Structure 1
Amino acid sequence: MGLFRAWRYVASLPLVDVGELVEKDVRLVLLDRDNTCVPRDASSAPPEVVAWLDAARAAGIGLCLVSNNFHSSQVGRTARELGVEVVDHAMKPAPFALRRAMRLMGASPEKTVMIGDQVFTDVAAGSLAGVRTILVRPQSRSDLWYTHIFRVFERLALRGVTFEGE
């Protein structure tokens, strides 16, 4: 897999099969916050995301938010609400925060998956950290101004890619 190619492409986080993650020996899921777990134009995760996190936890999978969001209080509040660990100020695509999250959670790259909505941050960071990646569609069209620019290039990078569940 290349730097910008995900292991899997799934339409949304709740459509990621928890049972399949367990079968693939995944013990830790690293999650992006904005537009993966929480829509950018909302303050909390939708019920179907909360239900997915509960199912993953029940299956014995560790969960950790790894967010570039610089509003630590917002990211921390979300982590508490969702009952997950957090590493903020991640600076993705740099892999350092993902490695810190794996150390925090006691997981190896081989047993870790990064799930996010952006090719040039989430997928690239996961690739650089040596973990499998799952790209999901953003939950909202609302994004930061510079993310809209990245989305143009993302569409080019995703030409021909089919997302499961669409």
Structure 2
Amino acid sequence: MRKYNLPTEAYRLASIEIELLKIAGIQGVILDLDNTIVSEDDRYLSPGAEAWIEQAKSADIKFYILSNGKRRYRVKYWSYRLDIPAINPAKKPFPCAFRKAIKHLRLKPKQVVVIGDSRHTDMLGAWFVGCPFIQVATLPHPFRWWEKLLGKRVQTPYPTDGELWDFNNSEKYDL
């Protein structure tokens, strides 16, 4: 079988080709939550993300969520909704949570890809443990304090002409 090099960037989660992950030997995915699947202000949902996750699960790809999000009930809600175990707070980029996720998946680091929007948490954490990484464009969200300080976002911005799905959480994170 021909070895395939994974892309390092993708427009959004659903634009990553599952078959190419399989060809590259990927059997597991560590996913970021905030601004990768749903915007941290709960305004937007990454188009096609939930269907993509289900298709990948059908292709025998395992998942784990690592989140630094401060609102733990959101991570619990999404973990339940997507039927994916999660660690929160993950304290990314420190490797402890990444190692726990890899151990839970029962895979080697080279068999697990980390997918997230952040270079300084997701990508750096993946590098620390030896996993490949795919950066997706960050969903629109309010500037964080450190982004205000820098005067810019450090993530790849979501394209202004890109499709966005509104997230109307009528359940208000009740489980």
TM-score normalised by length of structure 2 = 0.78
1:41 CA drift (Å): 2.3
1:40 CA drift (Å): 1.9
SS at match of 2:34: coil
Distance 1:45 1:109, change over 3 A: same
Q: 1:44–1:78: 8 Å Cα contact kept in structure 2? A: no
| 1:161 paired residue number | none
Q: 2:147–2:154: 8 Å Cα contact kept in structure 1? A: no
1:139 lines up with 2:110 in the alignment: no
Q: Deviations over 1:66-120 (max 9, x none)?
A: 1111322210111101111111111111111111111112111010000000111
Q: Deviations over 1:43-71 (max 9, x none)?
A: 78456110110111011000111111132
SS at match of 2:48: helix
| 2:8 paired residue number | 8
SS at match of 1:152: coil
Q: Which moved more, 1:70-79 or 1:119-128?
A: 70-79
Structure (1 or 2) with the larger CA radius of gyration: 2
1:154 CA drift (Å): 2.7
Structure 2 unaligned runs (5+)? 1-5, 157-161, 163-175
1:145 CA drift (Å): 2.3
State the identity as a percent: 26
CA–CA distance in structure 1, aligned partners of residues 136 and 15 of structure 2: 9
CA–CA distance in structure 2, aligned partners of residues 145 and 78 of structure 1: 25
SS at match of 1:142: coil
CA–CA distance in structure 2, aligned partners of residues 71 and 116 of structure 1: 18
CA–CA distance in structure 2, aligned partners of residues 43 and 19 of structure 1: 30
Structure 1 unaligned runs (5+)? 1-5, 159-164
CA–CA distance in structure 2, aligned partners of residues 153 and 34 of structure 1: 15
TM-score normalised by length of structure 1 = 0.82
Distance 1:11 1:153, change over 3 A: same
Q: 2:13–2:46: 8 Å Cα contact kept in structure 1? A: no
| 1:105 paired residue number | 105
CA–CA distance in structure 2, aligned partners of residues 133 and 86 of structure 1: 18
| 2:91 paired residue number | 91
Q: 2:64–2:86: 8 Å Cα contact kept in structure 1? A: yes
Q: Which moved more, 1:78-87 or 1:135-144?
A: 135-144
1:54 lines up with 2:54 in the alignment: yes
CA–CA distance in structure 2, aligned partners of residues 17 and 46 of structure 1: 16
Q: 2:118–2:135: 8 Å Cα contact kept in structure 1? A: yes
CA–CA distance in structure 1, aligned partners of residues 151 and 119 of structure 2: 9
1:141 CA drift (Å): 3.2
| 1:17 paired residue number | 17
CA–CA distance in structure 2, aligned partners of residues 115 and 88 of structure 1: 16
